[in-house]
Amino acid sequence: MQSAIPCSLMRGGTSKGLFFMADNLPEETALRDSILLAAMGSPDERQIDGVGGAHPLTSKIAIVKPSTLPNADVDYLFLQVSVDQALVSDTQNCGNMLAGVGPFAIEQGIIKATEDETFVRIHMVNTGGIAIAKVQTPEGKVDYSGDARIDGVPNNSAPIFLEFLNIAGSSCGQLLPTGNTIDSIDGVEVTCIDNGMPVVLIRAEDLGKTGYETPQELENDEQLKQRIESIRLQLGEMMNLGDVSKKTVPKMSLIAAARNGGAICTRTFIPHRVHEAIGVLGAASVATACILPGTIAQSIVNTNSQDVVQLIDVEHPTGAFSVEIELDNNVALPDIKRVALLRTARLLMRGEVLVPDDINQKLN
């Protein structure tokens, strides 16, 4: 026998996963995680016995409930289900899955849609902080169809604008977690930054790469992966993240000069597989490094704009990600006020996911 748990399968930005209402899952973490592992089919590199897509970008969970905070409509908890290990982690946020939260909350009836567009204020439980999503709701219903296009997704959809306020230091406590714009680890210069996602920037050429390799080419290079992991483990402690050996942060972004008119080119380890694009908050952190004086990114982008609102195009393996950043330049280290960007999302399936009863028996 199997147990059925209501949920929806959604694409959020360039990621995909299951969206649950919190009260359809047990509160107890170990039990909840066993259910999620079974639902996705982990641990197994093909996730053949579950609905996971055999890649970290398609092995994601969003848990949503009405918010108890006065300044938010819903609470969104993100969980990364490891593909090949029995691990479920809440140590990172996910801005791509976030794009599906507004539509899901409206579909579930916990947010009442307003005519044409509905603003949903989302409390991001993993890191704290509020995101505001603008969802298209003509005639009070979520509209997924439209002309908006994001790189990494082949089809156009309705736009979902996301805005983040004051997300600097969301996981590490400060925008520059080590207190420096540049650190040197294992003889390699890095910039550590957290504007919504802890990211370590490394010049690709310092690791013997061009920065224009395909994700597959980078993943095939065992020596490179070991060097990056050694740097990551040391920086985890220095970035106030503690022992990161079982965590999915910080992300490791190899950077090089832009090739297609953008500000910078990236290849991002998340942290062991290489992203086919770049994460939302990952892109926000990289874009921020591009405009902060003294970072290794700034020497590559070579911009010197003093504009209060800047649009930074972060190139990645499947195109580019435009991040709008609003800052206050009147202080020594520019103060990042707001980050805004475009995503799309689509409801792919709704119903119940089935998990074997031996897991669910522990529920009763």
- CA distance to 41, 84, 230, 309, per residue, from 87 (Å): 12, 8, 21, 40
Secondary structure tally for the chain: helices H, strands E: 7, 17
Site residues (CB under 6 A) for ligand NQM, limited to 172-231? 197
* Whether residue 271 has a cis bond before it, omega within 30° of 0: yes
Select 81 or 353, whichever has its Cβ closest to ligand NQM.
81
The number of CA neighbours under 13 Å toward the Cβ of 73 is 20
**Minimum CB–partner distance for residue 52 and ligand NQM (Å):** 14
**Minimum CB–partner distance for residue 70 and ligand NQM (Å):** 25
**Minimum CB–partner distance for residue 192 and ligand NQM (Å):** 15
Select 105 or 270, whichever has its Cβ closest to ligand NQM.
270
**Minimum CB–partner distance for residue 228 and ligand NQM (Å):** 14
User: Interior CA angle at 324 toward 318 and 330, to 5°?
Assistant: 140
Instruction: Spell out, one character per residue from 102 to 141, where the chain touches ligand NQM: x when CB under 6 A holds, - when not.
Output: ----------------------------------------
Select 14 or 118, whichever has its Cβ closest to ligand NQM.
14
User: Interior CA angle at 82 toward 76 and 176, to 5°?
Assistant: 65
Kindly tell me the burial class for residue 329, based on how many C-beta atoms sit within 10 Å of its own C-beta (0-12, 13-18, 19 or more). exposed
- CA distance to 37, 63, 78, 116, per residue, from 287 (Å): 34, 28, 23, 31
**Minimum CB–partner distance for residue 244 and ligand NQM (Å):** 13
Cβ 204 vs Cβ 227: under 8 Å: no
**Binding of ligand NQM at residue 94 (CB under 6 A)?**
yes
CB burial readout 22-57, b (16+ within 10 A) else e:
beebbeeeeebbbbbbbbbbbebeebeebbbbbbbb
Rounded to an integer, what distance in angstroms lies between the CA atom of residue 290 and that of residue 208? 22
Residue 106 DSSP label: H
**Minimum CB–partner distance for residue 282 and ligand NQM (Å):** 4
Size of interface with ligand NQM, in residues (CB under 6 A) = 17
Select 113 or 198, whichever has its Cβ closest to ligand NQM.
198
What is the full DSSP assignment across 307-351? -SEEEEEEEETTEEEEEEEEEETTSSS-EEEEEEEEE-EEEEEEE
Cβ 276 vs Cβ 318: under 8 Å: yes
**Minimum CB–partner distance for residue 280 and ligand NQM (Å):** 4
Select 8 or 14, whichever has its Cβ closest to ligand NQM.
14
List the end-to-end C-alpha distance of the chain, in Å, as a whole number: 15
Instruction: Spell out, one character per residue from 267 to 306, where the chain touches ligand NQM: x when CB under 6 A holds, - when not.
Output: ---x----x---xxxx------------------------
Place of tokens 């040391």: 234
Q: Which stretch binds ligand NQM (CB under 6 A): 32-40, 89-97, 187-195, 209-217?
A: 89-97
Select 113 or 297, whichever has its Cβ closest to ligand NQM.
297
Q: Which residue of this chain has its Cβ atom nearest to ligand NQM in the complex?
A: 279
Amino acid at 124: M
Select 36 or 270, whichever has its Cβ closest to ligand NQM.
270
Select 74 or 113, whichever has its Cβ closest to ligand NQM.
74
Site residues (CB under 6 A) for ligand NQM, limited to 230-259? 248, 251
**Minimum CB–partner distance for residue 273 and ligand NQM (Å):** 9
Positions in the binding site for ligand NQM (CB under 6 A): 14-15, 56-57, 93-96, 197, 248, 251, 270, 275, 279-282
